[in-house]
A and B are shown apart, each in its own frame.
Chain A
């Protein structure tokens, strides 16, 4: 079994003794900060460009160099909501939400007990099991595309959102087991023993001892699974048609080889990223706590 810490996790801003850490000023800190800012801005710029472009008219969006100061319009968003085609974006958005939320719940339902059996009460040969889970991710995912398509066709599950739910669940399960295992490994054995001494049963221990410690981990795992399922395009494009179409597939439909489309696509991309951004902000506190405590350690 991996080493289990014998103290509660210590926030990074405090020393091992619990004293507030004195701010260190390493040499070159200024340049590191500058580099961090530059890299941060480089990462944000495309997103900023996307948001600005989404409020431009198609002709302003297509100029080179980009005309960032062009007049703003909501035309791109009107197009996304079906102004000229009459096609509603809500069914694909609802499909994406269904697939992401349900598959995330299923992943949690399966991953947490599995991770429990691999960390707190490890089964025999638990390392083998762990690597077996991971090995399912070693095949490039695209290699499974055709077999899964043919399978879905023969069992009549093409264009069915349940196929995507099952697929996303299995796609995310190994990652979730690994993440949850490292979070559960952080639960101090002493706490479990103390609970046992106090006469707590399994359910009580799980609810009152384990859960509060791993809640940030669950938040982080759910967010990752949600993002992966929400953004998945390759399989959704192949396995769905008119009924179970998801938002990313719908989004690509705005690209055309004849005519301008940048503003429309940017508007669509902004709307489609909103749920992930909202979920990210909602889970932010838990997430930072979770990441700095578990996986990174």
Chain B
């Protein structure tokens, strides 16, 4: 008994001592309060893993600025960024924001304009950044609000060997009906091989990324310029019907759950002959350990009524308006998005890991081209031909190719994608899905109409 009592009073004493010791500090990490440190919130993609390592070894060594990273999965990071930036909490100086968020955040003045820094920093060479990218990362006031870390468009990837074996030739600028024909011909070319892999997983950034580009080129749009919802209009319906029919007839197994990663696995494992998706996928297909390395061909995003249809996406750096270390933040951004950093990654990690797709100079670099000649030019062509302001056949009310640049779109796109995904699963019809989608889109449109009148 007495022993027990002694132990517990010792415990309490230790606890109190720990509590007293702890009062001085706010936590064990980073030490964010220091003058020469930056807090960066970013998405956990492979390019960011390399960045963490190289930042400590190079950026901090050269500038003396310590960088504390928080990395989170994509959905979590979006939540946290919108919470942090909308409340202007000032905990993070820099965050990875995409070209979807940047125009919206710029309008709300949550992120700081970068144009003043760009003007004083000729070495950064803004003109080297692809023009569509600069446009997509600017606000309505014409100032640049974000610098791309890496960018992508979309194109059609296909197995050259499989098409050849079937005696099929891929046109230089394929149309969607041509692609559907090819998919029918190469379907089952090898055991378990689907004709084409297309995303079917619900999500505005999953299913509706490729699907909206198809809608655009079929002549459809989510909204007209004067905010009329067009989700059950004929061109939109034709496009979705085409997409759903194609994936149901010649698409991959488990299409309603297949997203980027699943399709990548399918192509790598020889379970799909073609794949329409992000240009950044090519790096994985042509990686050293990839079984399909050297077997892939790359064609521009298939079209119908438009001249090009590839999307435009870039994980980019934005500086929080409430940050008190904007000058240091620019130093970090201009380093991470700069030419030198690409060369550094090429030298230390490998040219296939370079965060590409943003600078013209990357595609003139012989070292990079030696590693990526199969897809470098198609990627460059896809990104430079993307037009985020005018992606379809009619004027748009908001910027964006594979999305509509309004804060409501993630909700809207995700809900409608769930209906379309169940159409892919065969649980509902496309018409039924789009009728429900139209109602949701009409609610959003109504809000904008009443705001404008």
Write the residues of chain A forming the contact surface with B, with a CB cutoff of 8 angstroms.
Answer: 62, 84-87, 90-92, 94-95, 98, 101-102, 105, 109, 149-150, 153, 158-162, 207-208, 211-212, 215, 218, 237-238, 240-245, 249, 252-259
Contact = CB atoms under 8 A, between A and B. Distances in A.
B165 interface: no
Contact of A212 (B4, B15, B71): B4
Interface in B12-51: 12, 15, 18-19, 22, 25-33, 39, 41, 43-46, 49-50
A242 B29 contact: yes
Contact of B52 (A87, A159, A237, A254): A87
Contacts of A245: 27, 29, 70
Contact of B32 (A149, A242, A253): A242
A255 B75 CA distance: 10
Contacts of A242: 29-30, 32, 39, 68-70, 91-92
B73 A101 contact: no
B83 interface: yes
29 contacts: A85-B49, A85-B52, A86-B52, A94-B28, A95-B27, A95-B29, A101-B15, A102-B15, A149-B87, A153-B89, A159-B27, A159-B32, A160-B26, A161-B22, A211-B4, A212-B4, A218-B8, A237-B76, A240-B27, A241-B39, A241-B70, A242-B69, A243-B29, A243-B31, A244-B29, A253-B70, A255-B73, A257-B43, A258-B46
B26 A84 contact: no
A208 B29 contact: no
Interface string B75-116: 010001001000101011000000000000000000000000
Contact of B87 (A86, A109, A153, A215): A153
A86 B56 contact: yes
A180 B429 CA distance: 58
Given A102-B18, A238-B80, A252 B72 contact: yes
A258 B73 CA distance: 10
Contact of B91 (A84, A159, A259): A159
Nearest to A152: B89
Contacts of A158: 89, 91
Interface string B214-227: 00000000000000
A211 B27 contact: no
Contacts of A94: 28
Interface string B48-62: 011011001100000
A160 to B, nearest CB: 4
B83 A149 contact: yes
B25 to A, nearest CB: 8
Given A85-B53, A95-B28, 18 more contacts: A84-B53, A86-B56, A91-B30, A102-B19, A105-B19, A153-B89, A161-B28, A162-B26, A215-B4, A241-B70, A242-B70, A242-B92, A243-B26, A253-B73, A257-B73, A257-B260, A258-B45, A258-B260
A257 B68 CA distance: 22
Given A85-B53, A238-B80, A241-B70, A258 B261 contact: yes
Contact of B29 (A91, A150, A212, A253): A91
A40 B132 CA distance: 58
Q: Which 3 interchain pairs have the tightest Cβ spacing? A: A244-B27, A242-B68, A91-B29
Contacts of B43: 257
Nearest to A99: B27
A158 B90 CA distance: 10
B172 interface: no
A153 B83 CA distance: 11
B5 interface: yes
A255 B71 CA distance: 9
A98 B22 contact: yes
A253 B260 CA distance: 19
A105 B17 CA distance: 12
Contacts of B68: 242-243
A219 B83 CA distance: 38
A236 B21 CA distance: 22
Nearest to B37: A242
Contacts of B19: 102, 105
Nearest to B71: A253
Contacts of B50: 84
A243 B32 contact: yes
A257 B278 CA distance: 13
B76 A87 contact: no
Nearest to B38: A242
B46 A237 contact: no
B260 to A, nearest CB: 7
A57 to B, nearest CB: 11
A252 B56 contact: no
Contact of A91 (B18, B27, B87): B27
B83 A238 contact: yes
A208 B8 CA distance: 12
A84 B22 CA distance: 31
Contacts of B73: 252-253, 255-257
A212 B7 CA distance: 12
Most chain B C-beta atoms within 10 Å of own C-beta, residue among A90, A91, A160: A91
Contacts of A160: 26-27
A97 to B, nearest CB: 9
B70 A211 contact: no
A103 to B, nearest CB: 11
A240 B72 CA distance: 13
A237 to B, nearest CB: 7
Contacts of B33: 243
Most chain B C-beta atoms within 10 Å of own C-beta, residue among A85, A95, A207, A215: A85
A149 B91 CA distance: 13
Nearest to B47: A258
Given A242-B39, A252-B72, A86 B53 contact: yes
A86 to B, nearest CB: 5
A62 B264 CA distance: 13
